[in-house]
Amino acid sequence: MTEMTDFITSSTLIAGFAIGIGVLGPAIAMGMAISRALDALSRQPEAETSIMRTLFIGLAMIESLAIYVLVIVLIILFRNPLIEYLTQ
């Protein structure tokens, strides 16, 4: 049973590490997108609706990457397909 304990412990640690690294990229990208949108708004205030619409679409696409990471981590934590091979 020690292999099972080691596997579950390492899966939990790797899942925590993956969520930390996987969210770091989208967070940096969202910060850069917001910064660039604010720069564009300061140069062209009359294009506010177009800039904001494009910003929100881009932020939704960036956020989807973080959601994919979360889904994969939840699969690793709660329904790991490799546990079936360890129990045989």
Q: Domains in the chain, ordered, with CATH?
A: 18-87 (1.20.20.10)
- The verdict on pTM exceeding 0.85 is no
Residue range 4-57, pLDDT digits in tens: 888 889 999 999 999 999 999 999 999 999 999 999 999 999 999 999 999 999
| CA dist., res. 57 & res. 52, Å (int) | 9
Six token digits for residue 53: 């619409």
Q: Among 85, 74, 72, 40, which Cα is nearest to 58's?
A: 40
Q: What are φ and ψ of residue 82, in 5° steps?
A: -80, -15
Which distant-in-sequence residues (6+ apart) come within 8 Å of 51 by Cβ? 37, 40, 41, 44
